Amino acid sequence: MVFDPHVAVIRFGMGLSPHHAVPESVNALLEELTGPDHMASAHIIPPFDAAEPSLFTQSVVYRARHQARGTTDFDAAEARVKDMQKETTAAQENNVRATYGRAVDSTFGMRERLVAFWADHFTVVAVGGNRRHLVSAYIEEAIRPHIAGRFEDMLRAVETHPMMLIYLQQVASVGPGSTIGQRRNRGLNENLAREMLELHTLGVGSPYTQQDVRELAEMLAGVTWTAADGQFFDPKRAEPGQETVLGVAYPAEASMETIHTVLRDLAAHPATAQHIARKLAQHFVADQPDPELVAAIAAVYLESQGDLSACYAAMLNHPSAWWPEAQKVRQPFDFIVACTRALGLRGRDLASLTTQDYRRLLFNPLRVMGQSWQNPTGPDGWPDRAEDWIIPQTMAGRVTWAIGAPRRLMDPLPDPREVVHWALGPSADPAVVFAAGAAETRHDGIGVVFASAAFNRR
Amino acid sequence: MDRRSFLSRSLALGCTAAASPLVTPVAFASGPWENRLVVIILRGGMDGLDVVRPVGDPDFAALRSPATDGEPPFGTGFYAFHPALAPLAPLWADGSFGAVHAVSTPYRDKRSHFDGQDILEAGTGGVNARRTDGWLNRMLHTVPGLSADTAYAIGQEQMLILEGDAATARWSPEARLQISAQARRLLDVVTHDDPLFRSAMDQAVAITDQLKGDAEAIESITENMMGDSMMASVAGGQHTKLVEFAVTRLLSDTRIASFSLNGWDTHQDQHRSMPRVLSNLSDVILMLRAGLGPVWEKTAILCLTEFGRTARQNGTRGTDHGTGGAVLYAGGALRGGQVNGAWPGLQEADLYARRDLMPMGDVRATAGHVMQSLFGFNREIIEGSIFPGLQMADGPGIVL
């Protein structure tokens, strides 16, 4: 079980393409991560602090409409709200196209895979209002810059990010004994504290208790956000008194500094190392990963104090990572990207689609395949096992896309007998090669290649 | 199972699409049962104390903000139902809607949605007894010779409750599959050696074939359902499509259907979010009743959730993850018009971990009694195979 350049792009990247080289070594894959982020500048996604309409803009526009009720200014204020809703939709469309563009144009695509992995690990869903475009903005700001850095830095960026504070309702949590808690009879909301332990750091099977959740929620009480002031630590909301989380007592006087300290401690916890190592191996290598692979990544995580590049290197240098049999299934977004790459299309071909075609070919099909854009049902993100993705209804979605979409993306279609090799590389499954040549039409031939088990596995 | 055996089993039971005119469904029913069971998973943790309010408990008022959302539409005196369930008042009155209170799965303490849902659907004794199959599947597995479409998991998500060794069908109303005959043969070739893909592909083809015959029937069912003026949101939301599809299947060969409704994780401003999800749920129940027509009398609907919520309202006008909660049920095959279950009380010492409603019964026992009554399973099968380790005790008197 040794490094294989085609397996590298299929399993750890975005899929083979006639336009892109394959990596010569593990180091070549890793260098794409630590080198300059060409894709970010080629396909722009405005980060949260620059994305419009921002939450501040929105608060101003909504307030204006509220104040205009019953006055002659109301129609204009209402029109501004409507415009803003259109801007949100357009901004989301830009972000979706850019995310596709990066995945299609990147040489190997491991960076794009890791961004998606961490965005899923730290899932934020846009609930209510005009926030649909701000999930990508959050990922651009809090996740993407940190994927090859230290886990602790990503953790800090994510857990104090306005989108996370809003999604897991930290903005509403108040220490019951704090000034504001006493005056307004308000109290804690445990949501962020619980998911931080259960999903983001230690993992649900590890030894934390309800008491740890509670005390962490008390510690976090001062962390808040408003549209006008952004994210900040508000001592008037902070719960007085000392808190103990996982046996560590933190200073009674809470501040952003104590929050950073507890996040650092959570990041350094051995259970976190184990949790992150297992998730990485499970996402990239196998639904039931080799325990030795997981142990190797976890050991490097602890030794390197959560250096994620070192963890990826540990994974890629482990023989289990190169098991020839493909054990994972491409998730729907990756499936569409891999088809697009195998057809020899580029990001600019997707960018030139009309809005109607973008919806029909890139956005809506994700839902039919079971992965509505940035909309998993909960903070645990998308499932990660083959049998979660390949069920009759979503399989029908893949087949329908495989046969119907390519001819709407390019005309004329390439020869399926060539596409099968672009898609599967030198060790193409003979049954798929046969089927590609036996189809009556080009679109059916390409369709059966893309719908094949061999292509959907990685 | 491959498509051939899927189809041949269906044929053996006389249920090709052409032979199942939905207007006379009962005459063509498959399997040993006429009764229908619909299990709705309420994901997020429904707050049983808000949906079925123990207003007669002297300690309740202190735990929650005073209700300002209107008169309770129905109840028992001790219990008052949430005003958003008002459209179900006729069902309460005719005995086809009710609740079981202060119950839970055996899951305790960690209060994770995801573990909680897995345990609810697996039907096991707790995290240490995890299984990868679901209790509805194990129930089917005890009956030999059922066709796959006896049980349907509906929607885009995986439903663990129906996963397992027994063949079941899965589909989502928005899925389509139109392919040429030759492409279909080639798809067999390219999925043949991978059991996961082969089975999904075969079922997708078999189900779409079957559905083609049902298109007209679906239209008339939809008309019936939409004719019910009690529904809060008549226009077709996602849940409407789920129910339409469920009804067409249940009027055909399907006896068991399961799907989920999301949005019950009410940490904040519960007075705003709860009415929305409850009116979705009441729509679903009313649409099932309107769509199923006479079959409603043979139908049991169980609405189950992974856990209840904290007894005390939290600091953000919501509730956090808790333990004991309520089961809602409906259908002509059950005895409604009542709130079943023993009441633990709400003084601090009565609460589980001084925080949550104390569970007095096991959700699985409720489901077990329904299966016993609807499908005739004996207690040994239920306590041995379907819910290993469960002690059912005396039935919650919700069965007829």
* B86 pLDDT above the threshold of 90: yes
B100 and B338 in contact (C-beta within 8 Å)? Answer: no
Q: Minimal CA–CA distance to A93: which of A335, A332, A363?
A: A363
Instruction: For Cα atoms A454, A457, B5, give the angle at the middle one, nearest 5 degrees.
Output: 70
> Predicted confidence band at B28 (pLDDT cuts at 50, 70, 90)?
very low
Q: Which chain A residues are within 8 Å of B110, Cβ to Cβ? A: 198, 204, 210
Instruction: For Cα atoms B177, B178, B183, give the angle at the middle one, nearest 5 degrees.
Output: 105
The minimum CA-CA distance between B194 and chain A, rounded to whole Å, is: 6
Show which of residues 110-169 on chain B sit within 8 Å of chain A, judged by CB atoms: 110-115, 127, 156-158, 163, 169
Answer whether B190 sits within 8 Å of A368, measured CB to CB. Answer: no
Confidence at residue A397, expressed as pLDDT on a 0 to 100 scale: 95
Half-sphere CA count of B218, side-chain side, radius 13 A: 17
Answer whether B194 sits within 8 Å of A173, measured CB to CB. Answer: no
The minimum CA-CA distance between B374 and chain A, rounded to whole Å, is: 29
What is chain B's mean pLDDT, rounded?
86
Q: Which chain B residues are within 8 Å of A169, Cβ to Cβ? A: 267-268, 316, 318
> Predicted confidence band at B222 (pLDDT cuts at 50, 70, 90)?
low
Answer whether B315 sits within 8 Å of A191, measured CB to CB. Answer: no
Confidence at residue B5, expressed as pLDDT on a 0 to 100 scale: 39
Q: Which chain B residues are within 8 Å of A181, Cβ to Cβ? A: 315
Average pLDDT over residues B283-291: 94
Confidence at residue B212, expressed as pLDDT on a 0 to 100 scale: 77
ipTM at complex level: 0.95
Show which of residues 395-434 on chain A sit within 8 Å of chain B, judged by CB atoms: 395-397, 399-400, 403, 429, 431-432, 434
Identify the closest residue of chain A to B269 by CA–CA distance. Answer: A172
* Predicted TM-score (pTM) of this structure: 0.84
B80 and B49 in contact (C-beta within 8 Å)? Answer: no
A240-257 pLDDT, tens digit each: 999 999 999 999 888 999
Q: How many CB atoms lie within 10 A of CB A118?
A: 22
**C-alpha dist (Å) from residue B163 to A194, B123, B159, B196, B349:** 29, 12, 7, 13, 40
Q: Is the CB of A51 inside 8 Å of chain B's CB atoms?
A: no
> Predicted confidence band at B129 (pLDDT cuts at 50, 70, 90)?
low
Number of residues that make up chain B: 400
B379-396 pLDDT, tens digit each: 999 999 999 989 887 766
The minimum CA-CA distance between B290 and chain A, rounded to whole Å, is: 26
Q: Is the CB of B44 inside 8 Å of chain A's CB atoms?
A: yes
* A94 pLDDT above the threshold of 90: yes
Answer whether A187 sits within 8 Å of B268, measured CB to CB. Answer: no
Q: Is the CB of B65 inside 8 Å of chain A's CB atoms?
A: no
> Predicted confidence band at A346 (pLDDT cuts at 50, 70, 90)?
very high
Q: Which chain A residues are within 8 Å of B113, Cβ to Cβ? A: 378, 380
Show which of residues 438-457 on chain A sit within 8 Å of chain B, judged by CB atoms: 438-440, 444, 447-449, 451-454, 456-457
Show which of residues 197-226 on chain B sit within 8 Å of chain A, judged by CB atoms: 197-198, 200-201, 203-204, 207-208
Answer whether B196 sits within 8 Å of A387, measured CB to CB. Answer: yes
Asked if the bond preceding A365 is cis, omega within 30° of 0, the reply is no
Confidence at residue B7, expressed as pLDDT on a 0 to 100 scale: 35
What is chain A's mean pLDDT, rounded?
95
A255-296 pLDDT, tens digit each: 999 999 999 999 999 999 999 999 999 999 999 999 999 999
Among A224-238, A282-296, B8-22, B373-387, the least confident range: B8-22
* A82 pLDDT above the threshold of 60: yes
Confidence at residue A148, expressed as pLDDT on a 0 to 100 scale: 97
> Predicted confidence band at A54 (pLDDT cuts at 50, 70, 90)?
very high
Answer whether B194 sits within 8 Å of A457, measured CB to CB. Answer: yes
> Predicted confidence band at B233 (pLDDT cuts at 50, 70, 90)?
low
Can you give the C-alpha Rg of chain B in angstroms?
A: 21
State how far the Cα of A328 lies from the Cα of A405, in Å rounded to an integer: 24
Q: In this complex, which of A205, A387, A396 lies closest to B208 when CB atoms are compared?
A: A396
A334 vs B166, more confident = A334
Confidence at residue B215, expressed as pLDDT on a 0 to 100 scale: 66
Q: Minimal CA–CA distance to B53: which of B74, B28, B37?
A: B74
Q: Minimal CA–CA distance to A393: which of B236, B167, B156?
A: B156
Confidence at residue B146, expressed as pLDDT on a 0 to 100 scale: 86
Q: Is the CB of A331 inside 8 Å of chain B's CB atoms?
A: no
In this structure, what DSSP letter does residue B296 have?
G
Q: Is the CB of B180 inside 8 Å of chain A's CB atoms?
A: yes
Answer whether B114 sits within 8 Å of A380, measured CB to CB. Answer: yes
Answer whether A209 sits within 8 Å of B109, measured CB to CB. Answer: yes
Max mean pLDDT among A186-190, A221-225, B3-7 falls in A221-225
Residues paired with B256 in a beta bridge? B37, B151
* B286 pLDDT above the threshold of 60: yes
Confidence at residue B145, expressed as pLDDT on a 0 to 100 scale: 82
Confidence at residue B393, expressed as pLDDT on a 0 to 100 scale: 78
Q: Which two tokens stand for residue B90?
A: 């006729």
State how far the Cα of A332 lies from the Cα of A353, in Å rounded to an integer: 20
Average pLDDT over residues A363-382: 93
Q: Which two tokens stand for residue B281?
A: 């749920």
Q: How many CB atoms lie within 10 A of CB B280?
A: 20
Residue percentage of chain B with pLDDT more than 70: 84
Q: Which chain B residues are within 8 Å of A449, Cβ to Cβ? A: 190
Three-state secondary-structure class, residue A112? helix
Confidence at residue B158, expressed as pLDDT on a 0 to 100 scale: 80
Q: Is the CB of B12 inside 8 Å of chain A's CB atoms?
A: no
Confidence at residue B206, expressed as pLDDT on a 0 to 100 scale: 87
> Predicted confidence band at B15 (pLDDT cuts at 50, 70, 90)?
very low
Answer whether B189 sits within 8 Å of A448, measured CB to CB. Answer: yes
Answer whether A403 sits within 8 Å of B183, measured CB to CB. Answer: yes
Q: Is the CB of B190 inside 8 Å of chain A's CB atoms?
A: yes
Residues paired with B302 in a beta bridge? B39, B329
Q: Which chain B residues are within 8 Å of A367, Cβ to Cβ? A: 156, 174
Residue percentage of chain A with pLDDT more than 90: 95
Average pLDDT over residues A138-148: 98
Q: Is the CB of A191 inside 8 Å of chain B's CB atoms?
A: yes
Best probe of the A interface among B186, B242, B307, by most A CBs < 10 A, is B186
Q: In this complex, which of A174, A372, A377 lies closest to B262 when CB atoms are compared?
A: A377
* B272 pLDDT above the threshold of 60: yes
Answer whether A435 sits within 8 Å of B203, measured CB to CB. Answer: no
DSSP per-residue string spanning A384-448: -SHHHH-SHHHHHHHHHHHHHSHHHH-SSPPPHHHHHHHHH-TT--HHHHHHHHH-SSHHHHHHH
Answer whether A391 sits within 8 Å of B170, measured CB to CB. Answer: yes
> Predicted confidence band at B2 (pLDDT cuts at 50, 70, 90)?
very low
Identify the closest residue of chain A to B315 by CA–CA distance. Answer: A187
* A415 pLDDT above the threshold of 80: yes
Average pLDDT over residues B196-206: 93
* A321 pLDDT above the threshold of 70: yes
Q: Is the CB of B62 inside 8 Å of chain A's CB atoms?
A: no
B179-198 pLDDT, tens digit each: 898 999 999 999 999 999 99
Answer whether A189 sits within 8 Å of B318, measured CB to CB. Answer: yes
A193-218 pLDDT, tens digit each: 999 999 999 998 899 999 999 999 99
Identify the closest residue of chain B to A385 by CA–CA distance. Answer: B158
